[in-house]
Amino acid sequence: MTTTATAPLTATPAYRVTPARVLRSEWHKLWTLRSTWITLAATTALTLGMGAGISAAYDGSGEGGLDTVVFVLLGTQFATVNLAVLGILATAGEYSTGQIRATMTAVPRRLPVLWSKAAVLAAVAFVLSLWTNLLTFPLAQSFLTGTDQAAALGDPGVLRGLAGNAAGLALLTVLALGLGAVARSVPLATGAYIGLVMVVPEVLRMLPYAVVDDAVRYFPSKALESLTAAQHGPDAAAPGAALLALTLWAAASLAAAAVTLRRRDV
């Protein structure tokens, strides 16, 4: 009588969690939401519409020395809010719907989800903003011929300003995503973002201290304006310093989100 030895059977998962798969999952999740399409379409429409509308109504009387690229891209004031809402919905929105439980069950280590969300949203925000800016600037300039705001894409600083604006908006989107992960509430995170980006700098500028004025230059909204300008203004941060400041703001937000994800239960 003989016996046949068999090796013990072990369960092998059909799919292993990898950074590429988590990234693909977050990409698919983003584009299957109706809110993504609506937000991105509204961002492009508002930027294009405001750029064309303001330029068509401009009478050439001067805008207090406002930089040409900043003038044309005034519509990005709405883009900062629209893209921020998209970033907040990517994190806080999952908590409000309960989808976060499924996400963290699939990726128990949690942090790869955060990095993947940030990478996907930053890429989408940058590409969309740059494409929109490159459409808006020539369209607006068709109304500004012969005025003090007339410029061409090849003029010094113009392309850098258009790309800098797109990079700044992408970093602001990541900043909002981090706030959403920390607050876990869409209204709370939205309020925190608006307060930090739009309200706090204006309040601080009222204080009669030179050091405060210097610090305000590196707050998100002012840094974005410095990145957008084709010509560096005397009271603005240099483009490189503004980009670094926005990067640090986004990194701080993501770091706070990472700590929150590791310490709190889903």
- Which band of pLDDT confidence, cut at 50, 70 and 90, is reported for residue 6? very low
- Rounded mean pLDDT of 171-191? 94
In a domain, 10, yes or no: no
In a domain, 265, yes or no: no
Q: The whole model's pTM is what?
A: 0.89
Which span out of 57-71, 75-89, 93-107 was modeled with the highest average pLDDT? 75-89
Structural domains of the chain, count: 1
Please give the mean pLDDT across all residues of the chain: 87
In a domain, 155, yes or no: yes
Predicted confidence (pLDDT) per residue in 41-53, tens digit: 999 999 999 999 9
pLDDT reading at 7 higher than 50: no
Q: State the pLDDT at residue 62.
A: 63
In a domain, 210, yes or no: yes
In a domain, 214, yes or no: yes
Domain of 167?
Answer: 19-260
Nearest CA to 243 among 225, 227, 222, 219? 227
- Rounded mean pLDDT of 73-89? 92
- Is-contact 125 83, C-beta < 8 A? yes
Of residues 100 and 154, more confidently modeled: 154
In a domain, 1, yes or no: no
- Is-contact 233 227, C-beta < 8 A? no
In a domain, 266, yes or no: no
In a domain, 13, yes or no: no
Crossing angle between the packed helical segments 111-144 and 158-183, to the nearest 10 degrees: 140
- Is-contact 237 164, C-beta < 8 A? no
